[in-house]
Chains A and B, each alone.
Chain A
Amino acid sequence: MDSRYLNVFLEEASEHIENLNSNLLNLEKTPSHEVVEEIFRSAHTLKGMAGTMGFNKISELTHEMENLLHEIRSGNFPVTGSVVDVLLECVDLIQKMIDKISIEGNEGQVEINAVIDKLRRLLEGERGLPSKQSSGEVEESFNEFELRIMEEALKKGLKIWEILVKLNDDCLLKSARAFLVFKALENLGEIIKTKPHVQDIEDEKFENEFYIYLVTSKSEKEIMGAVNSVSEIKSVTVKEIKISAGINKIGESESSISKQSTPAPDKINDKNKVKNTTKTLRVDIERLDNLMNLVSELIIIKTRLEEQDKSPEHAQRRREALEYLARITSSLHDAVMKVRMVPIENVFNRFPRVVRDLSKELKKQVNLIIEGAETELDRSIIDEIGDPLIHLVRNAMDHGIETPEERVKKGKPKEGTLKLKAYHDGNNVVIEVSDDGCGVDLEKVLEKAQKLNLVDKTQGKKLKENEILNFLFESGFSTKEKVTDISGRGVGLDVVKTKIESLGGSVEIKTRKNEGTTFLIRLPLTLAIIQALMVELGKEKYAIPLNSIKEIVILQKEELKKVQNNEVILLRGNVVPVLRLHDILDISTDESGEETFTVVIVKKGDKEVGLIVDNLLGEQEIVIKSLGNFLKNIKFIAGATILGNGQVALILDVNALI
């Protein structure tokens, strides 16, 4: 199969799955005609796509979903929690198969019959028809014409049989086999109806089984024999249909049931208009990267031009040209960045589902509030941030929010609140995950930290709140006694932290006992171009990202103090440790008798560290480039950039230094 189509299929399928998920949740909360329409459309498109790609299980499953949705759409079927449950289950299975396809190229051994059964049972149950088990009753509704034939047949002493024919799973020419079965049965009597419709069977629009309703004087045995004479038949079930006046009654009661249960679709909700799926342009990320590289080159050229702007001739004109170039590059930069920006909605959208499932599982009542979903972030960050967020949400639901009983006891509303909030803050995007649960028990955390030998008893008492909270990010740390499926296995927060730091961000916890916990994730807007301070160390040049610099101070030599062999400085009354970058980066220095030294104060969260450098070279816009796979694990270095003169300068990884 052409992998190009496969990729498009996978991408579109995940979009539809996302749509289905969020719309199904909408449907549960506020059923409306539009939502059903939207769900139906997604399921239908999925079915078509899967069909063309030859993923039969998906198309079969979506087909069954469609049947149910069709009933809902036409108002014959009320939307209940269990309906949504089953539909969500279907969506999960489809997701599973899509995942399999993306890895293995086929749908794998996903079991779909159970859920299809559930769908069918729902439909049948609602139609007011008896379930399959009670044999001899009419399962299928017949139209008036068919009923008349049947009645007449019965009068003549003929019998009506329902024949369920199952073909072998590997049967190739299904419609041909079906045709042979028809032929065989037509010799015995009259076929009054088939399910699916004859036309569909001829077009092979059926799975491996079909029903035939036969009017005949022959016995069950003869029918079986006739069908079994056709090869590639897996099984035949023959059942006599006892027709009575009851059929009509069933038909009537059916309509009366549906009348009662049909919600008036228009009245329910007009406000909750389904959001149109945003029109997006699919752009290959590689092409975008390429565009980004071009812009990077432009910026490098700009810097080079700036450096050459020294001769007095034409200085004015050159400056103007430069300014123009600067303007173009920055707007080009913005434009390209915007192409890469995706609203965080794409990530947040999966949370209503996660929260719904978890609250059922944990038997907690949780209200999810999402704010700032329109906040935009670089695509590469969006792709990575989902897992850490899911983790934090699970944590909040498992550890944070209490059970309804506990909450009532504490005088809180029964329903807990979980809030996901995103907003811009300077050059950062902040994502908050907060709950109004029980908060982090600092004493318990400290106790556990001591047990794990992360800190000894006497030191422990001196620790500040945020220092204790930081233990939560140690690997293997969990205060929950009970290990649950959801969280508490001790793998978690450390992974979250590592992930976010690898994206150039940071995590912070704020907590108040019995009032709740907030996780603050700070992420850079983009990973590609940053403002940096260029510094000189010996003969080497390094870049320090500007957003991690707090200030720069020039101090006299005697202001450098020693505390327990660590060098520190006093900055407005605060003790700030200092690091000699020369030593850390193995740069030889000539300890000349300079009287002053320059300290760049960098920060990470609340922590500050001073870095001693030789010279400041000024601020510059730099393009971050990776050192490549060969050198990917170099400590203290976050990447490299190309300077105006074509030389490479390394970017310091401030997070690793602190």
Chain B
Amino acid sequence: MEEIRQFVVFKLGQEEYAVDIMHVNTIERMMPITRVPKAPDYVEGVINLRGEIIPVIDLKKRFGLASGEVTADTRIIIVMLDDLTVGMIVDSATEVVQLPQDSIEPPPSVAGNISSDFLEGVGKIGDRLLIILNLEKIMRPGEAETRAAM
């Protein structure tokens, strides 16, 4: 039996990324962000999401890419992983796609200048390539970074 997974597709620059829909809580428009001093540089700050304080990260900065400008398309994707809730700023959120599990290939060692640590794999739809994120690594910086340092 083939397992079909659903992904939210979004863009950073020209590249298309995807995150498992099971982890996506909501997708929000850009809103005022309060800077948090002494936080890692990719942490943009915190927002008030209907009474809850949610930290927001700039996904491009997290990947070491140059951060882009905020446009009307800019979105904050609120993702949840166990006890963590984080907003990710992306250039645009485009669609939801279905991918069979076996069409997802392991990530190449370098994918669009992003360390493969952050990636779960690459999904193919026709000639489109979706870079699928590994939220665990993105959202638990402590563990990922210490492992990288080792």
Instruction: Name A residues whose Cβ lies closer than 8 Å to a Cβ of B.
Output: 293, 296-297, 300, 540, 584-587, 625-631, 634-637, 640, 642, 646-650
| Inter-chain contacts of B84 with A (CB < 8 A) | 628-630
User: Are B36 and A634 within 8 A (Cβ)?
Assistant: yes
Interchain Cβ contacts under 8 Å between A and B, 6 examples: A586-B38, A628-B55, A628-B84, A634-B36, A637-B37, A640-B34
User: Are A586 and B86 within 8 A (Cβ)?
Assistant: no
Which of A296, A587, A630, A636 has most chain B Cβ within 10 Å?
Answer: A630
- If A631-B43, A631-B55 touch, whether A647 touches B36 (CB-CB below 8 Å) is no
CA of A110 to CA of B32, assembled, Å:
57
CA of A293 to CA of B51, assembled, Å:
8
| Inter-chain contacts of B35 with A (CB < 8 A) | 540
Interface SS of chain B: strand
Checking B48, B51, B55, B85 against A647 with a beta-carbon cut-off of 8 angstroms, the contacting residue is B48
CA of A634 to CA of B43, assembled, Å:
11
Checking B37, B55, B139 against A636 with a beta-carbon cut-off of 8 angstroms, the contacting residue is B37
| Inter-chain contacts of B55 with A (CB < 8 A) | 627-628, 630-631
Residue B72 is within 8 A (CB to CB) of chain A in the complex: no
Residue B53 is within 8 A (CB to CB) of chain A in the complex: yes
A589 CB, min distance to chain B CBs, angstroms: 14
Closest 6 CB pairs of A and B: A585-B37, A648-B34, A630-B55, A640-B53, A625-B53, A631-B55
Residue B122 is within 8 A (CB to CB) of chain A in the complex: no
User: Are B86 and A646 within 8 A (Cβ)?
Assistant: no
User: Are B48 and A642 within 8 A (Cβ)?
Assistant: yes
User: Are B83 and A297 within 8 A (Cβ)?
Assistant: no
Residue B24 is within 8 A (CB to CB) of chain A in the complex: no
User: Are B36 and A650 within 8 A (Cβ)?
Assistant: yes
User: Are B36 and A627 within 8 A (Cβ)?
Assistant: yes
Q: For residue A645, which residue of chain B has the nearest CB?
A: B32
| Inter-chain contacts of B39 with A (CB < 8 A) | 631, 634
A37 CB, min distance to chain B CBs, angstroms: 46
B85-98 interface mask toward A, CB cutoff 8 Å, 1 = contact, 0 = none? 11000000000000
| Inter-chain contacts of B32 with A (CB < 8 A) | 646-647
Q: For residue B82, which residue of chain A has the nearest CB?
A: A629
Contact count A vs B, C-beta below 8 Å: 68
CA of A192 to CA of B43, assembled, Å:
83
* Sample of 16 more A-B contacts, CB < 8 Å, known A636-B37, A640-B53: A296-B51, A297-B51, A300-B51, A540-B34, A627-B36, A628-B54, A629-B83, A631-B36, A631-B46, A636-B38, A637-B38, A642-B48, A642-B51, A642-B53, A648-B45, A648-B47
- Chain B residues 106-133 with CB under 8 Å of chain A are none
CA of A646 to CA of B139, assembled, Å:
26
User: Are A634 and B139 within 8 A (Cβ)?
Assistant: no
CA of A640 to CA of B53, assembled, Å:
7
CA of A356 to CA of B84, assembled, Å:
45
User: Are A627 and B53 within 8 A (Cβ)?
Assistant: yes
- Chain B residues 64-102 with CB under 8 Å of chain A are 83-86
Residue B2 is within 8 A (CB to CB) of chain A in the complex: no
| Inter-chain contacts of A587 with B (CB < 8 A) | 37
Interface SS of chain A: mixed
User: Are A637 and B36 within 8 A (Cβ)?
Assistant: yes
| Inter-chain contacts of A640 with B (CB < 8 A) | 34, 46, 53
CA of A235 to CA of B46, assembled, Å:
70
Residue B3 is within 8 A (CB to CB) of chain A in the complex: no
A535 CB, min distance to chain B CBs, angstroms: 14
B26 CB, min distance to chain A CBs, angstroms: 16
B19-41 interface mask toward A, CB cutoff 8 Å, 1 = contact, 0 = none? 00000000000001011111100
CA of A648 to CA of B36, assembled, Å:
10
User: Are B46 and A627 within 8 A (Cβ)?
Assistant: yes
CA of A649 to CA of B48, assembled, Å:
10
Checking B34, B51, B52, B139 against A630 with a beta-carbon cut-off of 8 angstroms, the contacting residue is B139
| Inter-chain contacts of B36 with A (CB < 8 A) | 627, 631, 634, 637, 650
A420 CB, min distance to chain B CBs, angstroms: 36
B148 CB, min distance to chain A CBs, angstroms: 18
| Inter-chain contacts of B34 with A (CB < 8 A) | 540, 640, 647-650
A329 CB, min distance to chain B CBs, angstroms: 15
| Inter-chain contacts of A650 with B (CB < 8 A) | 34, 36-37, 46
| Inter-chain contacts of A300 with B (CB < 8 A) | 51
CA of A587 to CA of B34, assembled, Å:
13
A326 CB, min distance to chain B CBs, angstroms: 20
A289 CB, min distance to chain B CBs, angstroms: 12
| Inter-chain contacts of A625 with B (CB < 8 A) | 52-53
Q: For residue B85, which residue of chain A has the nearest CB?
A: A628
CA of A57 to CA of B38, assembled, Å:
54
| Inter-chain contacts of B139 with A (CB < 8 A) | 630
CA of A128 to CA of B60, assembled, Å:
84
| Inter-chain contacts of A626 with B (CB < 8 A) | 53
Which of A297, A585, A634, A636 has most chain B Cβ within 10 Å?
Answer: A634
User: Are A646 and B48 within 8 A (Cβ)?
Assistant: yes
A227 CB, min distance to chain B CBs, angstroms: 58
Q: For residue A539, which residue of chain B has the nearest CB?
A: B35
A536 CB, min distance to chain B CBs, angstroms: 13
CA of A648 to CA of B49, assembled, Å:
10
CA of A649 to CA of B47, assembled, Å:
10
B40 CB, min distance to chain A CBs, angstroms: 9
| Inter-chain contacts of A646 with B (CB < 8 A) | 32, 48
B102 CB, min distance to chain A CBs, angstroms: 33
| Inter-chain contacts of A629 with B (CB < 8 A) | 83-84
CA of A633 to CA of B37, assembled, Å:
12
CA of A625 to CA of B85, assembled, Å:
14
